[in-house]
């Protein structure tokens, strides 16, 4: 279940991953536990990547985004 819960949201989505876990015979409580961990983990990872990505592109420092969004 841990592998399915961690990799599933990237491949098929969290709803389908939870359904697959329960339909493959996993306990509902254990599925819920692993899905909460997985969604929290991916939310943190993508939040950090989004923050660093916007900071990496820069707005006025590198003039990359400034070209597309002038003030």
Over the stretch 12-65, which tens digit does the pLDDT of each residue have?
Answer: 988 899 999 999 999 999 999 999 999 999 999 989 888 777 665 555 555 666
Q: Which domain holds residue 59?
A: 2-68
Question: Model confidence at 66, in pLDDT bands (50, 70, 90)?
Answer: low
Q: How many structural domains are present in the chain? A: 1
Rounded to two decimals, the pTM is 0.69
Identify the pLDDT of residue 30.
94
Identify the pLDDT of residue 25.
92
Identify the pLDDT of residue 40.
95
Distance, CA of 53 to CA of 62 (rounded, Å): 13
Collect all residues with Cβ–Cβ distance below 8 Å to 22 and sequence separation of at least 6. 28, 31
Three-state DSSP at 9 gives helix
How far, CA to CA in Å, does 18 sit from each of 10, 22, 37, 43, 56?
13, 6, 12, 17, 35
Identify the pLDDT of residue 19.
92
């Amino acid at each position: 279940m841990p592998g399915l819960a961690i990799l599933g949201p990237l491949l098929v989505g969290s709803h389908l991953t939870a359904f697959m876990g329960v339909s493959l015979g996993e306990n509902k409580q254990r599925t819920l536990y692993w899905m909460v961990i997985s969604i929290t983990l991916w939310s943190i990872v993508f939040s950090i990547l989004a923050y660093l990505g916007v900071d990496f592109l820069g707005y006025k420092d590198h003039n990359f985004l400034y070209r597309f969004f002038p003030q």
